[in-house]
Structure 1
Amino acid sequence: MKIDLTGRVAVVTGGSGQLGRVMCRTLAACGADVAVHYHSNATQAAALVEELRALGVRAHAVQADVTDEASVTAMRDDVSATLGEPDIIVNNAVIQYDWKPVLEQPLADFDSQYRSTVLHSVLMARAFVPAMARRSWGRVIAINTEVAMQVAPTQAAYAAGKRGLDGVMRVLTREIGPHGITVNQVAPGWMISEDHPADDSEGQAAYARGVPLRRRGTDQDVANLVAFLASDLAAFISGQYVSVSGGNVMPTI
């Protein structure tokens, strides 16, 4: 079996970021045309688009604020006019900040996490799902995190946003499934990326010792699952929160 996304159009929010770049490359390597969303890094997005086009697919960079409805709608119109109506959306963009205890975390951080995870995914669904429903085929993939299950000290704002995302995605699964659209969440652990390579720090070593596979994964491991869920091979998989953490967290039955 082969993951073949030829003829499909994908939108990756936060596509110019460290995980986003790997997902865009992987989807393009499987044959998908890719819209690379960015918020502020136009240079990185443009460079990635050229890289994807070299793989023989169409690619387009598009700017948007994923927490603003008008901006997301404008992104949809831009992508549809340039690449065609998307079949696959990957909700990856998120606002990052310093983690602090609940009693010390600025209230604005809780709001930003809600807006960049929950509201982001709601706006993406409203913008792109109707066209998927008309074609009776679509893939909605949201990037969650193992933190949603860990709920460790200092993770409150991040966990709150991602657990809210989980609820929205599960409800969406039931609402749009009759239209032939799958909805899934990919939940990475603490991964090795282009911007954050592995080192021998005690924190990273301690984390790896707690993982059943005794190592950290890579952003490519995450992208591989995204490509699978976007494909026809995953046609009957929906409503799932899938951990990519080497067993560090395990969703239970």
Structure 2
Amino acid sequence: MAAVGWRGAPGARGLGGTWHPWGASGALSVGGAWAPVGCAWRPLGGGRLAPVGGARLPLRAPERLWGRARRKNPSDPNVEGKRRATIMKRVHMARKKGERIPVMFDEKGQPEGKHGDELMSWIGVLAQEHIPIWIQDWRSRDLDGLKDIIWKETITSFTADESFWTACIKSCGEAAQNFRHDLYKTFVEGFLKEESVWTRSQKVVDIYPNIEEEDWVKFVQYRTSSQFQQLSDRGSEIRTNNEYSSRGGRDGYRKLD
């Protein structure tokens, strides 16, 4: 069946507007039910959708069916949380059986396929779990012990050899940097004039319970300092001069040829 995506009213996200499936003619599977392509959808209470004149279907379907043409926003806590829970469960099940998830690598030494995606997602999880949000330079030799922990966690869960060490540590640093950027954009940038910015909001506590209050204060102090601003300006200038900008998310340059 041809791939099918979704279009909806700006800002509706299926909560206040109507979603319309688009793509090739045929049938569309949503939450295990089938509906003809071309019908309109209306939001219902309790997190559900219904085709006009049809049966009720899960609200999560439109987000899931955006398709490969448009990747989900990696900074969306809901999307991130689901991905995080899925990969942690997968790794836990493998470890419980005393197994490692097998990963294939291409001629460039880059992980590929479904398990390659899982490996990169796992590295992202490790970045959030182990790298403090106030870290200023991941390249520092003072952090070698932390890098060893992350590497051991990786090879305990996936079949990667020493040749992947450099890419693993680099990807973990990039994932941590992206995470810090998203934290700042979401929870700090728009609240700089408010005293509450120096305290973890309840939303931060709920979504990222591993972030301690002390770490949050250090994070805000550094991100609002003149030192960070100078580094940020320099980084922006470098990126402007580069032919390709770094791709965020779990892949980095992995899928950029």
- Give me the TM-score of the superposition, normalised by structure 1: 0.30
* Higher Cα radius of gyration: 2
TM-score (normalised: structure 2): 0.30
Structure of greater relative contact order (alpha carbons < 8 Å, 6+ residues apart): 1
